[in-house]
Amino acid sequence: MNKRAPTAGPEAVSAPILGIETSCDETAAAVLSADGVVLAEAGHSQLQEHARFGGVVPEVAARAHLSRLPAMVADVMRRAGVAFSDLCGVAATAGPGLIGGLVVGSSFGKGVALAHALPFVPVNHLEAHALTVLMPGLGEPAFPYLLLLVSGGHCQCVAVLGLGRYRRLGTTLDDAVGEAFDKSAKLLGLPWPGGPALEQLAKLGDPAAIPLPRPLLGRPGCDFSFSGLKTAVARAVAQGGRREDIAASFQAAVAAVLADRARHALRLMPDATALVVAGGVAANAAVRQALAGEALRAGVAQEAPPPRLCGDNAVMVAWAGLLRLRAGLSGAVDFAPRPRWPLSEMTCA
C-alpha cells in the first residue's frame, strides 16, 4: 500500500521545518522558520573517518550518520526552541547520493514525520543546491536562471525554469570538477579533501607557469571534460614542476573551462536573469571571479550562496522542503531513496 504522509497546502505553511542531510560524508540538520530564517543548524564533516582511506567509504559514512544524527537533530530542535509537534514538516535528502547515507537520513526523517503526523518531503540534493540562492537575504534571482552546479560528484549546466522545472544543458563526460580537484591535489601530495588545500597552494604559484590543457574550450555545447587535465597534472608532477605553479595553473584552467561552458549556456538561455553557481567548488574564489566576469559580459547578475552553504548542508535541504510545502507538494513516506535522481525527473509545481 502506498502510504502517504499528511499533506500541506500553501496556506498551511506557517510553522518551522526540520531538514536532514546525509547524502555523502556530511551529517547535518537544520531548523528553518516558516519564512526561511535559520533558527538552528549543525553539521559534522567525516574528514577524520575517511582521511586514512583517501576518499569516502560508503559503509563508514552510513555508520557515522547513524551514530551522530539522532543527537544532532535533538540538539538543533532544542536550540531552535521548537518541538516536533510544532513543525510544518520534515525534509530529508532522498537522492542522489550514497545509498547507505540516504537510507539513514530519510528513514530517520520518515520516523519523525510518522510519529508526529507531519508531512514528509523527500528532497533532491541537486534541487536543494539549485534553490539555495533563493533564500531570504541572498540573491533571490527571478526564474528562469542558469545554474552551474559544481561539486565533487556533479558538474552540470542547468536551466532553472521554476520549482521542479529543470532542463539540463550540459554535463561532464568523465570526472566531476570537484573530483578533478581532489585527484590533482592527491598527485601534488596534498591531504584529502583536496579542493581547499589546492586552492591555498595555488595562491603561492604562477597560474601561467605550466601550459595545462583546457578541455573542450571553445567547442560547441555545454559539456565538460576533466580527465585529460588531470592526466596533464600527473605529467607535470612527474616532470618535476613546482607544486605551487602546478596548482595555480590547474585552478586557472578549471576556471577558464567553467567560464567558457557558462558562456555557451547563457547563449542558449537569452532570457536568463542570472548566472548562479552552487556546489562545493562554488566556494573557490578563482572560480567565482571567472564566472562573475562571464556574467558581467553577458549582462546578467552572478549569484552564489555564501561559502558555508556551497557544500552539503541541511539548511538547503530544509529550504527546498519548505518551498515544496508552500507549493502543496510533500511526498510518500515509503518513497525509496534514489542513488541516481536526475533533476529532469522532479515533480513540477
**Segment (H or E) for 43:** strand 38-45
Could you give the 3-state DSSP secondary structure of residue 162? strand
Q: Across all residues in the chain, what is the average pLDDT?
A: 92
Query: Residue for cell digits 500500500?
Result: 1
pLDDT tens per residue across span 91-113:
999 999 999 999 999 999 999 99
9 pLDDT higher than 60: no
| Alpha helices by DSSP H, 44-87 | 47-51, 58-80
User: How many CB atoms within 10 Å of residue 3?
Assistant: 9
pLDDT at 330: 77
pLDDT at 140: 83
pLDDT at 71: 98
Mean pLDDT value across residues 247-257: 98
- What is the Cα–Cα distance from 160 to 170, expressed in whole angstroms? 13
Query: Residue for cell digits 549569484?
Result: 303
Query: What is the set of domains in the chain, with CATH numbers?
Result: 10-131+310-345 (3.30.420.40), 143-304 (3.30.420.40)
pLDDT at 8: 41
User: How many CB atoms within 10 Å of residue 118?
Assistant: 25
- What is the Cα–Cα distance from 206 to 204, expressed in whole angstroms? 7
Asked if residue 261 lies in contact with residue 157, where contact means CB atoms within 8 angstroms, the answer is yes
Asked if residue 157 lies in contact with residue 208, where contact means CB atoms within 8 angstroms, the answer is no
Percent of the chain with pLDDT over 90: 83
Confidence class of residue 46 from pLDDT cuts 50, 70 and 90? Answer: confident
Confidence class of residue 348 from pLDDT cuts 50, 70 and 90? Answer: low
- What is the Cα–Cα distance from 257 to 249, expressed in whole angstroms? 12
pLDDT at 5: 38
Q: Which of 22, 18, 20, 68 is nearest to 39 (CA)?
A: 18
Asked if residue 97 lies in contact with residue 339, where contact means CB atoms within 8 angstroms, the answer is yes
pLDDT at 12: 60
- What is the Cα–Cα distance from 96 to 84, expressed in whole angstroms? 26
Mean pLDDT value across residues 205-216: 97
